Amino acid sequence: MNNERMTNQQSAISNQQSLARLADLFAGGHAALMPYFPLGFPDVETSLDVITAMSKAGAAAFEIGLSFSDPLADGPVIQHATQVALEQGITVKRSLEMIAELRSRGVTQPFLVMGYFNPMLAYGLERFVDDAAAAGADGFIVPDLPPEEAGDLDRLCRARQLGLIYFLAPTSTNDRLKLVAEKARGFIYLVSLTGVTGARTQLSDRLGEFVGRIRRITSTPIAIGFGVSTPEQARAVSHLADGVIVGSALVQIVDRAEDKPQAAAQFIRELKGIMR
């Protein structure tokens, strides 16, 4: 058997495991904590250490951030972090190499690669999906790619049994809810508010109603992000959803800390402690 055939077989086995790994996230009877962190911030080695530390602290899965110069869905904290990463020389290729490095360090949690569509397209979409899967990714989150325009990526992910996560927002129509429920593979990303990412002092008092609308039309797991900032907010969200996503608050804590991996790990332990 030649090396190419062996690689293809190994990739197929890995891809078959990806959707199962995502399903397992929500099989434990409690909400999964899924932190977002951008690769390359504040530098390559520190970001690897931060994610590794959060893995050991008990994060259930990771949204692995690909930096982009025009992050339309992100607020000032993540915009700053991704700009720093770009200035440090991070690229899509280097990011995929870092995912493989995290796997070689023993980080086993599912990885959802979160990034914007233009860098993926510039890299070559099929090549990007194949290289990301080979590096150890389990799926993709693409904020600027609505399901109506995601046909090519959707087909690639379905052929390789990878997750593809779509967004719903408080402004989503019933038709959009049904479309996302039909297409989502892994879970549905529920945006808790209108606007960009960023820490908020309080969550919408209509969040439970919004979750109820989605629950009535699909059994696909729901993860809530955008604006989840404090342990108390994480606990509240964990009572509504299957997953809790924290990004800006984590990035801000890491940015301000001297011992960045330790600070990230401590924040994860605090969130998990109060979510139980």
DSSP 8-state assignment for residue 26: T
- pLDDT at residue number 229: 83
Residues forming a β-bridge with 35: 246
Active site residue 74: yes
DSSP labels, 100-159: HHHHHTT--S-EEEE--HHHHHHH-HHHHHHHHHHHT--EEE-TT--GGG-HHHHHHHHH
- pLDDT at residue number 192: 74
C-beta of residue 31 within 8 angstroms of C-beta of residue 228: no
Burial class (CB in 10 A: 0-12, 13-18, 19+), 81: buried
- pLDDT at residue number 202: 54
- pTM greater than 0.85: yes
- Which residues, given as ranges, of the chain have pLDDT below 70? 1-16, 71, 73, 193-204
Active site residue 87: no
Candidates 49, 63, 131, 138; catalytic one: 63
Q: What are the structural domains of the chain?
A: 3-275 (3.20.20.70)
- pLDDT at residue number 35: 97
- pLDDT at residue number 51: 98
Candidates 43, 45, 70, 74; catalytic one: 74
